[in-house]
Amino acid sequence: MPVEPVSACSPLIPGLCWWIMPVAKPTRDVTMGFLVGEMIHGPGKVTVGTLGLMAMVVLSCACGSSAPACDLDALLGSRAGAGAVDCGRAAIGAPTAAIDQCIADQTAQGHAFYARYDVQGIDSRASLGALADGAGHVSVLLWDSDPSGGGNSGARVTETACAGDPPLQTHLTQPDALTAVSCTVAGAGSLACGT
């Protein structure tokens, strides 16, 4: 009876898959540190099949998703532009007054800036980012470490353009707001990173 290869995909790295040829009696080859099969030459011997298995494992590491990770900090800095003021980052539950004041001051002066607020997610990590670039474009970015709710789909960043005067609302301007930062008037939204 012919043996069919088995495919598997990593639950941690989307797009990382490999194929393995099952063997009848697996053994541990201490010298090589790999699981090998008693294919032709007996236990612990390196065979063509063993080399093929090792090559498949190595190649599977190189053939994973080549898409860059969605890095909110990098997106905020690049979209705000060179010379933008870093207003800081607030951890979940940390005071935001200094960041909120920085946003208000930079907005009033027409300067480029960016800030990040880590927020409590339901089933993944989440953060809100706010930025203004040198041309006066203002937006809020939402980073979600796994928008599929635990399906390991990878991070995603969505961006919403903001308008109004001021274009952003924080706890400084709206003390009872449910979110740390939001658009006064939300415009078009788009996918900035991820799927």
* Statement: the pTM of the whole predicted model exceeds 0.75: no
CA trace torsion 23, 28, 34, 37 (10° rounding) = -20
Short-list 112, 167, 177, CA closest to 140: 167
Instruction: Provide the pLDDT for residue 107.
Output: 97
Sequential pLDDT tens for the chain (195 residues)? 443 333 444 444 444 333 333 434 443 333 333 222 333 344 444 443 332 323 222 223 333 333 457 999 999 999 999 999 999 999 999 999 999 999 999 999 999 999 999 999 888 899 999 999 999 999 999 999 988 877 778 899 999 999 999 999 999 999 999 999 999 999 999 999 998
Say if residues 105 and 112 touch (Cβ distance below 8 Å): no
The H or E element containing residue 99 is helix 97-109
| Cα 11 from Cα 148, distance rounded (Å) | 13
Neighbouring residues of 105: CB distance < 8 A, sequence distance ≥ 6: none
Instruction: Provide the pLDDT for residue 27.
Output: 38
